[in-house]
Each structure stands twice: as structure tokens, then as C-alpha cells.
Chain A
Amino acid sequence: MSRQPEFEDIQRALSVPNDCSRWGMTRRRFLQMSAAGMTVATVGPMVGKYEALAGQRLAHDEGVVVMVQLGGGNDGMNTLVPIGQGRYRDLRGNLAYDHDEVLHLGDGVALHPALSSVKQRWDMGQVAIVQGIGYADPSLSHFDSIAHWHNGRAGSDPSEPATDGWLGRWLDGLGNGRTELEAVVFDSTIPLHLRGRNAAAIGLSLNGGANFGLDDDADDLRMYDAYRAFAAEAHPRGRWADAVSGAGMEALALAGRLSPAYEGPGLSGSTFERQMARAARLISADVGVRVLGVSLGGFDTHGGQAGSHQSRLTDFDRGIQQFFDNLDARFASRVTVVTFSEFGRRPEINGSRGTDHGTASCAFVIGSKVAGGLVGQYPSLTNLDSRGNLRPEVDFRSMYATVLDTWLRSDSNQVLEGSFESLPLFRGSPGNRDIINPPPDPEAHQGYIITTDAGGVFNFGHHPSYGGGAAGMVAALEPNPAGAGYWLCTTGGAIEPFGDAPYLGSMAGTNLDAPMVDMAVHPDGDGYWLLGGDGGVFSFGNVGFYGSTGGLNLRQPVVGMAPHPNGRGYWFVASDGGVFSFGSSRFHGSTGGIRLRRPVVGMAGTATGRGYWLVADDGGIFAFGDATFHGSTGGIQLARPVVNMTATPSGKGYWLVADDGGIFAFGDAAFHGSLGAQTVPGRVIGIAA
């Protein structure tokens, strides 16, 4: 009655507790007992929470990978069914699916019926399926084979004990710039692929963040102050006491950084679904996570496979759905989900209506920048190896190499210690930047773009579009004055950059006192301000803060903003026509004292910085300072209200846009078309030239 270790045992044996590697080197960076540390200890209770939140954002072109392990050996042949090969039915007997049961992908293959949401993404061109993935001279031992996949080192032998994993070595390569959060699992033990020689992923709780550090009762805040004060000074009490207090203070700050991932509605579904949802929220919390490890077990289907495999794949499919449902759209173009399993299963059904350990399987690569389609060849069902198993077509390290080079922008030769062919898995690198590469066009910008609150961006004339889409209702569109691109700003304060517009921070995930209504950009394109409806101003990047009306009780909401052309000030306008000027911007008059027939909805500044226009929703124009009146729709009955305006580069004209996309051009502004009869989702809210 000998007992074999169970699969979970194997997983544990391949894991170590959080934060330690084989040689006990921890990846902690000790907080230096620096002036900065002492500041945190003395400034006040909220500093740790928000200061830390600001520091760890993901760069706009940094990719995130979610590695999903299907533990136990997923049956590739009933996941990606070779429905077109007659041999399939012969080998699989009553485990074989019929032609009308599966989800057809063409090319003689089909998905298991449980994979409906994967199929939906496939139809959107966002799923690549690597066929016949495995490795030469395969091991059929769970332990050896999963360790081999985790290891991912070129030239390694599955029977060699592996002491580190490919993503762990990638972490090692990040060197001293690492934070605690590049790699995360929701477990107390760290699987081998996420452990390097020195670095390792951190294990976080699935259900609750650490409460420690997050309570906000006055009493708790006093406790945190005291806790920080333990680290206020290095004392002659031994280096370890100082290290303990420093590490404690850092742990307190880390809890604050993670808190957004644990807020919001509770998670539902299986453990795997909840892990995938939490993974998405953690990415959306924008704390610098690059790699997540998630695992779903139970694929070791030696007997009674039909039911158990169905339920595992259903769980998987729902998890994928949950992941994308919970992912903030700002990250959609930066996130890829990759699956793997230690092996596939024997093509021929066994005597227990199951399948035994096999070799090649299939892997899914899912994300909005994925080049959808089949990769590699389906392994032959007639030319099996001596044990009756499939012959692998693609080495799994090719998939790793592609992920490392394209998605993590790393060097796969270094991480994998060898060179592997690249697979056509991605349409481009992470982020929105390369969706369209605009050719240098002398006529570029002779035109305009408009945006809807649903995030749709429409270009007219020669103005290029770099795509659209944002998480939430769009409140503003601003072009990058220094390049080819633009930003969308949502009412929730999220920023979505397009083209070469840099992401410099946003208010997403913070509690806003009022929704965002507009934004303004520094002429160098390296900083911007967001404007709240209460007149609160939030600056990001290389711009200064010159004041706001956030503390005042305004009679009317603020609706629009214009920057000073020198970048050192701004104006904003309230719906009653009241103008507020800050920094270099001077007050040149307003309609605040007159009773307007219609509310003001927007403003634009002149090129000199010595004037501005205000526009009301009936198309009425009010010009102040050196701004010149070139005409308005104030006298005509409009079908739809005007919502915004923008001036031409010369300042000798302007366009007005109505909420149905109608365009009104005045002065030297040329008409390049409008949405006209075209129906688009949402209502138009902004225009830029």
C-alpha cells in the first residue's frame, strides 16, 4: 500500500515560502535609515499610504504577463480538438467529441465546448494557440516535467534538479531597481518558475489584503505612527533591531500600496476565478506588477476524464472571463495571459475512461495585443513516439523567449541561457504606441479629431488617429503639442495615452471629490493638469501647481480649462462664465457678471497667452483679451448643443463641435467633415486639432 505523493504535494515541493530562495537570501531591500525614512515617521498618518501609491506605476509601454498553470497535465487533444483528423475518434473512443459538440476554429481544429469565453476572444482575434508545445525527450513524471517547464533553461535535462525558474531569473536580471511587487502569486508558497537565484515573487493573500496599515480609525493611525517611530532613529540596540524596525515600516507602506487591489465588490466563483479576478484588480491598482502566477489543478485525468476535464476547463474559461471583466481598460493593451501545463495526455484512451501521462499539449496566449490564430503544427496522430505519445512541434522555451523579448522587453538569451526561435504571438509591443505608426506627413494636423464620452476617436482631414478607448466615461481629449498623439481623460480621472503621448499619472483609483471635466497639457507635452468639476487641479509630470478653487464653494461647476502657452499657468471657466486665472495667466474678463441665456461649456486660449474665448452650448462665442471674434452659431437654432471648441494653430479661427459630431468652422479653420448622419456610441464631448 505504498502512497505516491499527490499532485499538490509536488507543487509544494517545488515551492518555497514567500520571500526566500534556496540559499536563504531574501529579496528584501532594507530601508535605509535615511532622512526620507524619518520624514515618514514624523509627517503624519496618511503620508505612507499615498506617497507610496504614487511611486510604483507601470510605465505605459511595460507589459504584464499572467502565467496560468494547468496542473496535472492538461489534455491538449480534448482542449484543442483535432476534429478534422479521423484518427482522433479511433484513439479517443468514447472520450472523443462529435463534430457538432465543439467550437470550431477552422483548419480542422476546434475548442472544447466548455471554452466559450475563450472562443469569444478568439473571434475578436485576441487568442493565439500554440499547437504541439512540449520538448524533446519528454519526461512523463509530474515532478520532473513541471520542474523542467518551470526551469526553462536551455540544454537542461528534466531529471536534473532545478533550483530556479525562468521568471525568477528574469526578476534577478532587474537588479537593484526591483520593488517588492514585480512578481506576485496568491499563495504563501512561491512556485519554482517565479524563483530566481536571489529574487522571488511575493505571495499575497487572495481574499483580504493585510489590514495592518490600512485601518483609518484615529486610534489605529496613532498606532501606525508609533510603529513608524520605532524606526525613527538607529540606536545602539544591534543591527537586527534596526533592520526589524526598518523592514516593518516598509511593510506598512507596502500594505498601503496594495490596498486598491482589495477594495471594491467581493469576488465570486471558484478559487481560480477569484485568483484571476484578484490578479486583474492588482494589475489595475497600478502598483508595478509585471508577472502573476496563477494555478489551476486537477488536470491529471487518469479516469473518468469526460466529466472532470469538462469541469476543469469550465473553471478555466470562467477565470479568463473574470480576469478581463475585472481588468481596468487602461491596462488592456499591456496585459497577456499565457497558459502552460507539464504535459499533455496519451492520445489513446486508457481502460478507465481516462488518459495517461503524455507529451505535447497546447498553450493559450490571450490579450488585446496578441496576434490571434494557430501557431505551429498540430502534432500528427499517426506518427506517434515509441510510447504512443505525440511528437512535440514547438519547444516551450520558444514561447518563453517570445514573451520575454516582446512582452517583458528582456533578453531571452540571458534568461533562458540559450537562443530559441521567436513565435508570432503578438501584433506589437505592449501599450498603444504602435497601433498606427504615423508617417511623417507635411499635411498632418491639417484637420481635427473628435472624441465621444464612450472613448471613440474620429479623425478628419489629415489628422491621424492613434486609436481610442478608455476605462470609464471620457471627459476630455487633448493632443500632444510636442508630438503625434493625444490623451483621453475620464470623469473618474483615468488617463489613457495614445500615439507618443506619455502616460504621466492619473487620478484613477483615488476618491475624487468631483468628477473630472477637462485637462490641459504643457506645451512640451511632458506634463498635464486634470481639472475637477469643483475646480480642483491635479498636476502630473513636468508641470507646476498654480492654484485651484478646490477649497472654495463655487456657485456653478467648472467646465473647461486652457493652459498658458508658456506652460506656467492656466485658466478655467465655470458654466456661468466665471473665469479663474492662475500662474502666468491673467484675467481678461468674463461673463460672470451677466446672466447668460445658455451655459458656457468650454474655452480656448490664444497663441500669445493674452486672451481666450468662451463658448456656450448654443454656440455663442465670447472673446476676451487679444482673442478675436470670428463668428458663432449663436443666432441659429442648433439641432444639438455645442459641447466644446478648439482654436487653429494661428489663433485666427476656431472649430465648435456639437454633441452629435456636427462641426462648425470659423475664421481660418477649415471644414474637413463631421460625423453628420453617422451614428456612433455615446455623445461627442471634445475636439482637438
Chain B
Amino acid sequence: MIRDDAVHLLRRAGFAVRESDVTQLMALDRVGGVSLVTDFSANPPAQPPADIADPEGSRWRQIRDLRNWWMERMMTVPRPLQEKLTLFWHSHFAASAERVYYAAQTWDQNHLFRLQGLGSFRDLVHATATDPAMILYLDGFRNKAGNPNENYARELMELHTLGPGNYTEYDVVEVAKAWTGHMMDDEKRYYEFQTYHHDYRNKTIFGNTRNWNGPEVIDEILLGSKQVASSKFIVKKLWEFFAYEGPDDAIIAPLASRFRANDLNVGLLVRDIFLHPEFWSLRARQAVVRSPIEYMIQCMVGAGSTFDEARPDWWLEEMGQDLFYPPNPSGWQLNDFWLSARSIWAKAEFARHLAWKATNRDHLNEIETEGVPMAVAFALHFFGISDASNTTRAALEDYLYAERATWEWPQHANLLTLTMLTPEIQVA
């Protein structure tokens, strides 16, 4: 494939563009390239910080260490799609660490997404329904016969599987009853089905009256009467995450149909998305705003910086993507969600910080010894920008001409800062 295609695939299937990966992909065709990025066998097994399982540990510190470990893994793992999907599911099945009792519950959920993120969507929904982090986050532990809590029932349909408009308020009430008793042990450590708290009476769900139990509702949604709506819902969400916002139904419906035929296998769906002609279309290029983590990883890779040197975790919360603390049950949104003033200020601070950290690298030598157009081309190249607009290029060149004309010590680190603030590096 050509360079632009390789860069496009790397941005979407991972976090950053590295020259070595570009070279590797350019030797392959699209099918070969997609096979490469979806093969996780090259990834080392995930070894979280050792004390994550310590029930006596400081939860805040444990989660912080886990977060930093995860970011570093996102940045360094050879096939980052695994971690990008983990991030996708973390937002899709949002469950803030604020509500867990033990840090290990957050880790267990995170690792579930890592191990099963490319597997069956049905398995994933079932697993999250009985996952302690989710039960604690969406009040499943309070959901008792006679006093049902609708929180999980509502989000299961609205956010996890169907989207608004595909169920009624009455369904929410009845689905909540079906999930009564799916609770936790008294210590809030494990999932436990407490028959005493389950409502065994008949419920009417999607117009069908019988003695429903929670997991049967998931199968009814994914495999039964709601299978078309639910498959299109998740296919569209993954399409918007990997390709572009607002796809036509003509793209989603056939993908959803294959997804159902493939037993809701997410790995095959992601492959289908990557191999779809629309994924390679002009409309899909530079069509997604990078989330702060993607943005910072691209900056660090471009500046040749390590996690410990750059400390991107200092900026995560400012930029609005506090990992393990999603803002609400709907997780983080896409694109314009990331364009707040505060987030932009944080990017500017981060870019400046990183540029000065990188002043001892060869980058600057190359920039300083070149004429202006070539120096700007180098700077763009470092950060994986192969498709800069003329406006951006001219802005950078004008800056460098003016800077060099001062006859003071030219601050070429500022050129790196500015390159990290171009619109191009902020989109994928």
C-alpha cells in the first residue's frame, strides 16, 4: 500500500504513526496490512502492577499506577489495536473506578476487554452484566425484588446494546425486574445471584410475557427479536470510532448482517470495517479527532520521548480523559467532545513541555541545519503528518522565517511545539 494508506491504517488501528511500522505496511497490500494490525500474537502478555490485587492498598494509588501502566502499554505494544479496542470498550461499558470497592475490580474489567475485546460481543455483554465494577457502578447490588433499581436495565439497552428508540419505558421497568437478585456478596467482592432477591414473577419485555431472568434479556436483544437493531447499533458505534461519523445505512446494514452471521464476532467485524472500501475513501481520511491519549502518544512517539520523561498522565484529567474515571455511563464521546478550551490549553502546555524535553534529540539538529521549507517538512515528518494542508505548512514556514530573521538564538523547540499544535496532528 502507499504511504498515505499505511499512515491512515496506523492512526486508526493504533495510537501513533511510527516510521518503522509505515515501512512494514508499505510492503503489504491492504488485506495483508489489516491481517498484520489485527494479529495480537506479537503482543506480550499484560502484567499489571503487582499490588493491584492487594485489598488493603490505597485504591486511588493502585488505580493511578494501573492507569500509567496501561498508557505505557498503549504506547509501546507492537500491535496497539488490542489496547485501542480495550479503550473503546472501557468507554462503551463505562464503569468509573469511583464506585468500585477494590482496585482489582477495575483491573479485572480492563483485562476482560483486553482478552475478549475481539471475541464475541454476546460474551462481552454477558460478562459485563455480572462484572463487579459494572454492578457497583450501575447499582445492580441494590436491585432487589419489590424494590427494583432501574439503573443497569436502562443503560444495558440505551448505552450497551440498543440505543434510544428501540425499547419503551415500560421495558425498562420490566427488564429491571428480570435483573433483580444479580447482586454481590456482602463484602462487595464478587458477583452473586441471590435467589431470595430475585423477582420470579412474570414480566412483559418487548411484548413477550414470561418469567424472564436477566441474562435471557441479553440474548433476546442480541439474538432474538431485537437482533437487527442491536447489531446495527454496535456496528455503527464501531464504524464511527474507526472510520467516520454519520455513516449511511447502506454501509452499516450489510456489515451488521455479516456480524450476525459471524456470531457477533468483533474481530471479524473490525476486519470488515478496515477492509471496507469506504474506510479507504477520501471521506474517511483525517475524519476523526484524536482523543487526548491518542494525541499524547503520537506526540511522544514523534518527540522520541518515553512515558517517564513525558509524564502524559499529568495532563489526562485536564484534557478530559481521566482513564478509569469516565464522566458518566455513556463514557467519552467522539470528535467535538475533545474541543473544549481547557483541553486545548492543556494540549498547548503539554506540547511545550514535551518539545523542551526533546531538545537534546537529533530532531533539532536536523531542523537547525536545514533551510526553512525542509526544516518544516522534517518537523511534520517526525510527528507522522504526511498530509499537511498548505495553510498549516505556510503558517509553520512563516514562523520559522520570522524566527530566524530575529538573529537571536532561534528557538527551534518552538517549531516542534507548533507542529504538535497543528490541526493535522489532532485528527486521525
Contact = CB atoms under 8 A, between A and B. Distances in A.
Interface of A: 1-3, 5, 9, 12-13, 15-20, 22-24, 26, 28, 30, 161, 180, 188-189, 202-204, 210-213, 218-219, 222-223, 225-227, 229-230, 232-233, 235-238, 240-245, 247-248, 250-251, 254-255
B339 A238 contact: no
Contacts of B320: 17-20, 188
Given A5-B98, A23-B333, A247-B344, 18 more contacts: A3-B188, A12-B325, A16-B328, A20-B320, A24-B330, A26-B339, A188-B317, A189-B327, A210-B342, A219-B403, A219-B408, A226-B418, A229-B398, A230-B392, A230-B423, A233-B391, A238-B285, A247-B339
A223 B286 contact: no
Given A223-B399, A229-B394, A237-B424, A254 B341 contact: yes
B399 A226 contact: yes
B426 interface: yes
Contacts of A19: 320, 340-343
Contact of B349 (A13, A211, A226): A211
A281 B346 CA distance: 22
Contact of B337 (A5, A26, A219, A232): A26
Nearest to B284: A238
Interface of B: 55, 59, 96, 98-99, 101, 151, 186-188, 285-289, 317-318, 320-322, 325, 327-328, 330, 332-337, 339-345, 348-349, 352, 387, 389-392, 394-396, 398-399, 402-403, 406, 408, 411, 414, 417-418, 421-424, 426-427
B187 A2 contact: yes
A482 B119 CA distance: 77
Given A19-B340, A180-B341, A232-B391, A212 B348 contact: yes
Contacts, number: 173
Given A218-B406, A226-B418, A244 B341 contact: no
Contacts of A226: 395-396, 398-399, 418
Given A16-B328, A219-B414, A226-B395, A244 B96 contact: no
B332 to A, nearest CB: 8
Contacts of A242: 423
Contacts of A9: 98-99
A202 B341 contact: yes
A226 B96 CA distance: 39
Contacts of B289: 240, 243-244
Contacts of B288: 240
Contacts of B328: 16, 22
Nearest to A220: B414
20 contacts: A9-B98, A13-B96, A17-B322, A18-B342, A18-B343, A19-B341, A19-B342, A26-B340, A210-B348, A219-B403, A225-B402, A227-B395, A227-B418, A229-B395, A238-B286, A238-B287, A238-B427, A240-B288, A247-B339, A255-B345
Contacts of A248: 344, 421, 423
B342 A202 contact: yes
For the complex of A and B, list the 7 residue pairs with the smallest distance between their C-beta atoms, beginning with the closest.
A24-B333, A19-B340, A229-B395, A210-B345, A212-B348, A226-B399, A251-B344
B421 to A, nearest CB: 6
Contacts of B343: 18-19
A2 B187 CA distance: 5
A110 to B, nearest CB: 39
A241 B427 contact: yes
Given A12-B98, A18-B320, A222-B403, A241 B424 contact: yes
Contacts of A5: 98-99
A13 B287 contact: no
Contacts of A1: 55, 187
Contacts of A225: 398-399, 402
A255 B334 CA distance: 25
Contacts of A30: 336, 339
A242 B424 CA distance: 9
A210 B317 CA distance: 15
A5 B141 CA distance: 14
Given A12-B325, A22-B330, A222 B402 contact: yes
A529 B317 CA distance: 46
B316 to A, nearest CB: 10
Nearest to A188: B317
A203 B121 CA distance: 37
A3 B327 contact: no
